[in-house]
Amino acid sequence: MISTAQFKNGAHIEVEGTIYRIVEFQHVKPGKGGAFVRTKLRKIEDGSIQDKTFRAGEKFRPIHTESRKMQFLYESGGEVAFMDSRSYEQIELPKEMVEEAMRWVLPNEEVEILFVDDKATDVQAPSAVDMKVTKTEPGLKGDTASGGGSKPATLESGVEVQVPLFIAEGEVIRVDTRTGEYVTRAGSKGRHGHDPERPDA
């Protein structure tokens, strides 16, 4: 069993038979009465967010989680399909559950799928990706790498981000997927960054 003292962002707990992912939590010690923990939880089943409060020290069943590399195949009818490259097993996840992470994933790329109690529940996007700029307005004459200002740019996955004025179409940039912010120019090929882990916020 795990207690509220072991809570951390991204951990999973079971409450009354339902599995939740901890989005954020706060330990509260009131002047009177017992301490408690205020949480924001994401329901694994449908992705809905719920606020729940627990007594300090309350215990929960530990949840088995693991990540597996799977290939993004296609999106159809509100479902996103993936395949295990080794076993060729295919799974589908509701688009609304993985929409945020999939903004940074291109077809046929490998992603980390989070399994909770052997059930696929989420896509773990890398903390940074390298993607090609497919559309942006030309920079003004005199714009340099040290110049200020920004402009919108569409990347090869279709996501739009703000980039410095000197970035041109066809260039590859690195973007922080946690904030959606431009980081730096990258190499010559659009591809994902190497870090599959997302540190807890």
Q: Which two tokens stand for residue 188?
A: 């010559």
Q: Tokens 């967010």, residue? A: 49
pLDDT in tens, 95-137: 888 888 888 988 888 999 988 888 888 888 888 889 999 999 8
Domain boundary among 39, 60, 81: 60
Domain boundary among 60, 82, 101: 60
Q: Tokens 């990540």, residue? A: 67
| 65 vs 119: CA distance, rounded Å | 9
What was the pLDDT predicted at 187? Answer: 67
What was the pLDDT predicted at 26? Answer: 92
Domain boundary among 13, 37, 60: 60
What residues make up the domain containing 54? Answer: 2-60
Number of domains the chain is built from:
3
Q: What is the mean pLDDT of residues 67-82?
A: 91
Q: What angle do CA 69, 91, 78 make, to 5 degrees?
A: 115
Beta strand 65-76 with 110-116 is antiparallel
Q: What is the mean pLDDT of residues 92-96?
A: 87
| 38 vs 166: CA distance, rounded Å | 45
Q: What is the mean pLDDT of residues 52-70?
A: 88
